[in-house]
Amino acid sequence: MTRIVRTGSLFLLFLIPFAFQGLAQQQGKKDLKSLLVRLATYQKEDTVKIGLYRDIAFLSYSTNPKTGIDYGEKGIALAEKLNYRKGLIFCLISTGVCYWSTSNYPKALEILLKALKISEEDGNKTGIAKASANIGSVYADEANYPKALEYYFKALKISEELNDKTGIARKLGNIGTVYKEMNPPDYPQALEYFSRALKYYEETGEKRGVAVTLENISWVYSGQSLYKKAIDGLNKALPIVEETGEPRWIMYYYGTIGEAYYNMATDTSVKYRKTLNSLSQGEKSSFLNQSLGYLFKAAETAKEIKADKQLISWYTDIRDAYKSLGNWESAYRYSILSNNLKDDLFTQEKNLKIANLEAIRETQVKQKEIELQTERLARTRIQLIAVAGAFLGLIIIVLLVYLSRRKSERLLRIMLPAKIARRLKKKEKPIADMFENAAVVFADIVDFTGFSKDKDPHQVIEVLTDIFGRMDALSDKFGLEKIKTIGDCYMAVSGLPVPSHDSVENAANFAIACRELMREYKTRDGESIGIRIGMDAGQVIAGVIGEKRFSYDLWGDIVNTASRMESLGVVGEVQITENVVKRLQGKYITKERGEQVVKGKGTMKTWLLVSIVMQL
């Protein structure tokens, strides 16, 4: 099931307790508008204006951080001009937060560390606490957890000296989050700090803090397969969340509870297996049905607020729950809903993550050619009827239809494997096959969103086309079938539609070649681009879906597992499962990575694929 994006994982410890996307953000927009109006009419160059710059910068961090940086730097310049040290500290913090929001971590650290230094020189404890906490959050986003803890503990100490109970609660929550996000997670420490944070939030009566902390505690319990405790905490917090009236937060809570029920019924990890085996089939079905109940609520809320991206996740989760219940018809229906919504969303947003870009472009070209041919045919028929009759016009029509049909067939061969295209031409429906010895590879470009953020769209498309073109050549070389591209992710499979005894070796060779390609790859500007690759092998179902727009796709456990291997993998490496290692039979050099917690699969051993064993 799709892992839910959690609210409040890392708090911004500056002006507001929670930068949540609902009511708080709407209120922030109103405040920002009034501050901008006031700034436009304020003429004096004094400390009040510095405060306006500071507040505008911070309130812009989540909606328009570049604008926030501009106002923050104006505030820094004025504070330095007036030698107003206190104003300088908080303008630096606001500006650093905006750089953090743009993922420019080096610049964010540079500015926040400067704010910390001035705060320490002046003995400004509030500045020390806020600067340290935000520095900790930047390091946490970079997964530099020792550094994050160093600065969080520093901020906590100051908050305790100031007896700032709300600040103490937030810092405790941040520390708990770091322990939870570590690899491997330190669940006992995470639970200790979340529990301490909860007591402070309850003491201060900050309901939002109570709800977010209970949710984080539930993730700790879920990570230890203690789903009953996780659900109890979520249900305790749910009335608080519903009371806020913030539909996006309510939606996430419904989904989190639904996922916990699903995991309680399906987790097959070693530490949970004993409990799972003791469940009756009726109890498992009960948990899955309760999971569906909450997931349906999450999906309905997503539809109401038009959260299409999250709706795709809920549909996928509902599909998985139905599969676990053995209700294949419903599982298939929600799989289709999810796929169709993905296609619609990609088309509507016209962003860089459009699946099958080449197919869409070819379809548009074909449509234009058909329109032009239709116009020419109409003019030609009129002329021929007037001059020589309909016989010559009929010959031209037949010729045009023949040429159009050939182009359509060529387009079909581009979109589908040749064998499948031939079956489709013969009107075979449905097309669905089982393959026992397939190997699925996912290759995902790392942080492509950050790479493309400030670049010209044509340059971004050029880079994607170049990389995927080279991967297409490698897939042809090693006999793989390209299934699709999903934004900046490339998916290919070996061993179908024509079965092969060496499908796993072919896929391994392809994965290694893609890894080596990207290690050497440079854009025209000399930028390097990272890649993560995941692979699994085993049984899949492959078939054609769609009526007007055909798509050849795969279903099966190894598809999800290969995707998980990619998302949990190491940049610049190929992560594989035990299935792949066994099937390679010592022909390749592999490096054991250890156990990882894989959602929906529990704890799995994984390996890194190093190279092929050289034959002497």
Give the residues of the chain that fall short of pLDDT 70.
Answer: 1-30, 270-279, 349-366, 388-394, 396-415, 548, 614-616
In-domain check, residue 236: no
In the numeric block, which tokens belong to residue 415? 């979109």
Question: Helices in 388-455 by DSSP H: which ranges?
Answer: 390-415, 418-425, 448-452
269: three-class secondary structure by DSSP: coil
CATH number at residue 3: 1.25.40.10
Q: 206 and 66 share a domain? A: yes
Q: How many CB atoms lie within 10 A of CB 95?
A: 31
Which neighbouring-strand residues pair with 435? 540
596: three-class secondary structure by DSSP: strand
Q: pLDDT per residue over 61-120, tens digit each?
A: 878 899 999 999 999 999 999 999 999 999 999 999 999 988 899 999 999 999 999 999
pLDDT for 3 equals 42
Residue indicated by tokens 């309130």:
59
Cis omega (within 30 of 0) for bond into 430: yes
In-domain check, residue 33: yes
Q: Which of 523, 533, 520, 517 is nearest to 575 (CA)?
A: 533
Q: How many CB atoms lie within 10 A of CB 6?
A: 16
Q: Which of 166, 142, 141 is nearest to 156 (CA)?
A: 166
In-domain check, residue 391: yes
Q: 489 and 507 share a domain? A: yes
Residue where one domain finishes, among candidates 175, 201, 224: 224
Residue where one domain finishes, among candidates 298, 314, 349: 349
In-domain check, residue 247: no
What is the spatial distance between Cα 181 and Cα 103, in angstroms, rounded to a whole number? 19
Q: How many CB atoms lie within 10 A of CB 54?
A: 28
Report whether 248 contacts 305 (CB < 8 A): yes
Which neighbouring-strand residues pair with 528? 522
In-domain check, residue 408: yes
In-domain check, residue 6: yes
pLDDT for 614 equals 63
Q: Cα separations (Å) of 221 from 216, 229, 590?
A: 9, 6, 33
Angle between helices 281-304 and 247-266 (to 10 degrees): 160
Q: 14 and 156 share a domain? A: yes
Q: 66 and 95 share a domain? A: yes
What is the spatial distance between Cα 591 and Cα 536, in angstroms, rounded to a whole number? 16
Cis omega (within 30 of 0) for bond into 239: no
Residue where one domain finishes, among candidates 296, 327, 349: 349
Q: 74 and 187 share a domain? A: yes
Q: 323 and 391 share a domain? A: no
Question: Is the alpha carbon torsion for 53, 59, 65, 66 positive or negative?
Answer: negative
pLDDT for 273 equals 61
Q: 442 and 578 share a domain? A: yes
pLDDT for 371 equals 78
Q: Cα separations (Å) of 383 from 165, 286, 371, 378, 597?
A: 88, 73, 19, 9, 72
What is the spatial distance between Cα 314 and Cα 252, in angstroms, rounded to a whole number? 10
Q: 281 and 364 share a domain? A: no
Q: 155 and 23 share a domain? A: yes
Q: 410 and 530 share a domain? A: no
Per the structure, the complete domain to which residue 312 belongs is given by 257-349
In-domain check, residue 230: no
In the numeric block, which tokens belong to residue 247? 């539909």
What is the spatial distance between Cα 476 and Cα 458, in angstroms, rounded to a whole number? 26
Q: 96 and 64 share a domain? A: yes
Q: Cα separations (Å) of 426 from 275, 398, 423, 430, 498?
A: 51, 22, 5, 12, 18
In the numeric block, which tokens belong to residue 594? 């250890």
In-domain check, residue 252: no
Residue indicated by tokens 């999971």:
291
Q: 524 and 459 share a domain? A: yes
What is the spatial distance between Cα 348 and Cα 141, in angstroms, rounded to a whole number? 31
What is the spatial distance between Cα 483 and Cα 540, in angstroms, rounded to a whole number? 13
Number of domains in the chain: 4
- Which residue type does 279 have? L
DSSP label at 615? P
pTM of the complete model? 0.51
